[in-house]
């Protein structure tokens, strides 16, 4: 049976949509039996598309995330996914507070446990390419670990 992964940040408009798009692209290219989605712990942006700069940096890397729409990670999502992946420490904490026991942190996969910086308050596009690069490395490492049954 296919395994499921949800990437969770705060707003589900900047970081987790990138992880979602990058992972989906990797899954399709490598014909993997994995279901990918994303969410935010906050409710402010429910129903909105990803932020302009995330759409732009993904597009520059050949990935279209413009049709994604933000959803909130709630108590109803507890234990529904095989892998729940927070983008930073505060995301992990917020998810655990809702009752989810097993939560992994994206930066633990190839990035020494670092937080993916929140680009919501970045000025302009600068910095989004670094965020993209970090998410790309971590998502690939995570998916390799999953396909090799390491986690």
Beta-carbon neighbour count of residue 15 at 10 Å? Answer: 32
Instruction: Tell me which DSSP letter residue 49 carries.
Output: P
Beta-carbon neighbour count of residue 2 at 10 Å? Answer: 9
Q: Which stretch binds ligand 4NP (CB under 6 A): 7-15, 58-66, 107-115, 142-150?
A: 7-15
Compose the 114-133 pattern: x for residues touching ligand 4NP by CB under 6 A, - for all others: ----x-x-------------
Angle at 137 between CA 80 and CA 59, to 5 degrees: 90
Alpha helices in the chain (DSSP H): 15-29, 52-60, 89-97, 128-147
Q: How far apart are CA 19 and CA 7, in angstroms?
A: 7
Beta-carbon neighbour count of residue 136 at 10 Å? Answer: 19
If one asks whether residue 10 binds ligand 4NP (CB under 6 A), the answer comes out as yes
Catalytic residue (one of 9, 14, 51, 138):
9
If one asks whether residue 8 binds ligand 4NP (CB under 6 A), the answer comes out as no
Total interface residues for ligand 4NP by CB under 6 A:
12
Q: Please list every residue from 37 through 66 that binds ligand 4NP, using CB under 6 A.
A: 40, 44-45
Compose the 64-103 pattern: x for residues touching ligand 4NP by CB under 6 A, - for all others: ----------------------------------------
Question: Which chain residues interact with ligand 4NP by CB under 6 A?
Answer: 9-15, 40, 44-45, 118, 120
Residues annotated as catalytic (active site), given as ranges = 9, 15, 118
């Amino acid at each position: 049976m296919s395994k499921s992964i949800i990437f969770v940040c705060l707003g589900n408009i900047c970081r987790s949509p990138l992880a979602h798009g990058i992972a989906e692209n990797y899954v399709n290219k490598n014909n993997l039996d994995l279901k990918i989605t994303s969410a935010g712990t906050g409710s402010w942006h429910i129903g909105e598309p990803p932020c302009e700069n995330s759409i732009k940096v993904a597009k520059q890397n050949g990935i279209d995330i413009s049709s994604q729409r933000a959803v909130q990670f709630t108590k109803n999502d507890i234990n529904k996914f095989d892998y729940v992946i927070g983008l930073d420490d505060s995301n992990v904490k917020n998810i655990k507070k809702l009752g989810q026991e097993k939560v992994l942190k994206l930066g633990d996969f190839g990035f020494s446990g670092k937080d993916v910086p929140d680009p919501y308050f970045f000025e302009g596009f600068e910095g989004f390419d670094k965020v993209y690069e970090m998410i790309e490395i971590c998502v690939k490492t995570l998916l390799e670990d999953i396909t090799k049954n390491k986690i």
